[in-house]
Structure 1
Amino acid sequence: MLKTKRIKQIQEYVFEHQTASLDELVNVFDVSKNTIRRDVQELVERGELKKVYGGVAVNHTTLEPFNDRITRHQQEKTLIAKAAASYVEDGDIIFIDSGTTTLEMIEFLKNKQLTIITNNFDFMIDSFPFPGLNVISTGGMLERKTKSFASFKNIELLKSYNINKAFMAATGISIANGVTNSSPLESEIKQVVVEKSAEVFLLVDRHKFDKYALMTYCSLDQIHYLVTDTMPDKTYQEYVREHDIQLIIADQE
């Protein structure tokens, strides 16, 4: 296999699994450990990966472009979005977070009568044909990689909104680090929304459990509903039970 092709496949493998040991990469790609070390070092120097004990992990300080994220695990995202949208009722005032999973909710909300506050650029555009959706933008600076608006100046305005239900996204979640995000600009908006919302729904697929990114925007016990595609392990099952969090597993179609 050509070196460039192998390095690309290593990058895709680590992005899929979030972390990988050097021994694991040796077995998967059937090359020597020295070869893996050289390939990994190249990805580390590019800023794509970071070294961790015994291996490498995704470098979450480098934001992954929105268009790359949206194609990953598409079916799971759609099912999660559908399950979350089933909790939205006509007349609700909701917040739709930036993210590829929350974007999928538009298909299941388009015929409702709602007020929607959002920093999700694509959601604003996609909602335009549906007159029942009254959309309020958070405004601010456009973060091109995440296709979201972020601004510290509009936090006070956001605090004045009364939000029934917030539908939040995350780069990774864990019991120790809580709900995490890669963009510092977005994190304060997310924090305010969680604090202001009567009910908080967290939409994450199974690949985001036990992962974490640069910033924690809320602890896991601040969430009221955890919406995912597969039953998490017993540690999470016990945690949601102890903290009165409703676990919603999206129906597989």
Structure 2
Amino acid sequence: MIKEVRLKKIQEYINEKESVSLDELVSVFNVSKNTIRRDVQELLKTGDYKKIYGGVTVNHENKKGLDSFKERSVRNQEAKQLIGQIAGNLVNDGDVIFIDSGTTTIEMFEHIKNKKITIITNHIELIMKCIPHDNISLICIGGILERQTNSLGNINNLELLNIYNINKAFMSSTGISIRNGVTNASPIESKLKESVVRKCNEVYLLVDHSKFDKQGLITYCKLDEINYLVTDKVPNSTYRDFFNENHIKMIYK
């Protein structure tokens, strides 16, 4: 593997994992430790990463907000597709559902596109996908364009949610933790998410394994406010105990 390609792949790997050891990078990329040290040293010069004991981590202080929708959509893609399939199978004909903006929730579409349902959303890509399907009644929450999330948001439009009886909400998150709850990077979007969680009786949180013990700028609900967790891997015992104690059902394959 040529150096430029390897550097790009190492960068993508660190962004996905948040923090990695040098030994892990040696094993994953099958190169010597000296080579990894040199590669990491070059990445440190960008300011996007910080050196830690025995490894390297993402420098969030230097990050300029949320990565673009396109950048995030290629991370953990197989996990997101699996979660989207699981969540899509939970939707039944006649359901009125809210689908949150996000690179995981969009993966539901292929598994719900032939169902006779009503979708409420601010997710621009999802809106475009739904337009050709007459079996889907589409209610769009408009507002300000959030380019990094491919969504629309406006706190003045939240009263629209009070009109409709939403029986299932499929939510996304920048990161979750027991201490900080379910988090998000956008202040405008967070208000919408908060309102949906309070409005809906069945809240499904769609997060892959990389989102655990991570956090975004704003907490939009506590972790015990969700009803179902849809993920790709069994979480650790701390989370399993928390979900059991709070009657949150875990759904995974």
The TM-score, its normalising length taken from structure 1, stands at 0.86
Alpha-carbon shift at residue 166 of structure 1 (Å): 0.4
1:191 aligned residue (174, 190, 194): 194
Aligned residue pair count: 246
Among residues 39, 56, 78, which one is paired with 1:75 in the alignment?
78
**Residue 182 of structure 1, CA deviation:** 1.8
Q: CA deviation at 1:40?
A: 4.5
Matched, 1:104 2:104: no
Which of 235, 239, 245 is the aligned partner of 2:238? Answer: 235
Deviation at 1:58, TM superposition (A): 5.4
Distance 1:160 1:87 in 2: 24
- Aligned-pair distance for 1:26? 8.5
User: Which aligned pairs between 1:77-226 and structure 2 lie closer than 5 A?
Assistant: 77-226=80-229
Among candidates 222, 241, 244, match of residue 247 of structure 2: 244
Secondary structure at 1:12's aligned position in 2? helix
Q: Which amino acid aligns with 2:181?
A: G
Deviations 1:51-78 (A, max 9, x none): 4865532536521111122222222212
Q: Which consecutive unaligned segments of at least 5 residues does structure 2 have?
A: none
What residue number does 2:15 align with? 15
| Normalised TM-score (structure 2) | 0.86
Deviation, structure 1 residue 42: 2.6
Q: Which amino acid in structure 2 is aligned with residue 105 of structure 1?
A: M
Moved more, 108-117 or 32-41: 32-41
Q: Name the SS of the counterpart of 2:46 in structure 1.
A: helix
Instruction: State the 1:37 CA deviation.
Output: 7.4
CA offsets, 1:169-197, max 9 Å, x none?
11111111111112222111111111111
Please report how far the alpha carbon of residue 157 of structure 1 lies from its aligned counterpart in structure 2 after TM superposition.
2.3
Q: From the superposition, tell whether residues 191 and 207 of structure 1 become closer, same or farther in structure 2 (CA, over 3 Å).
A: same
Determine the C-alpha separation between the residues in 2 that align with 1:166 and 1:222: 12
Secondary structure at the counterpart of residue 232 of structure 1: coil
CA-based RMSD: 2.6
Deviation at residue 248 of structure 1 after TM alignment:
0.3
Structure 1 32/75 Cα, relative in aligned 2: closer, same or farther at 3 Å?
closer
Q: Distance in 2 between matches of 1:2 and 1:87?
A: 44
Verify the 8 A CA contact 1:168 1:202 in the aligned structure 2. yes
Q: For residues 52 and 177 of structure 1, do their structure 2 counterparts lie closer, same or farther at Cα, with a shift above 3 Å needed?
A: farther
Aligned equivalents of 1:164, 1:175: Cα separation in 2? 25
Kept in 2: contact 1:61–1:214 (CA 8 A): no
For residues 204 and 87 of structure 1, what CA distance do their matches in structure 2 show? 15
CA distance in 2, matches of 1:191, 1:92: 21
Which runs of at least 4 in structure 1 moved beyond 3 Å after TM superposition?
1-10, 20-29, 31-41, 51-55
Gaps of 5+ in 1: none
1:8-55 Cα deviation digits (max 9, x unpaired): 3442222121123578668977248985775354332xxx44x48655
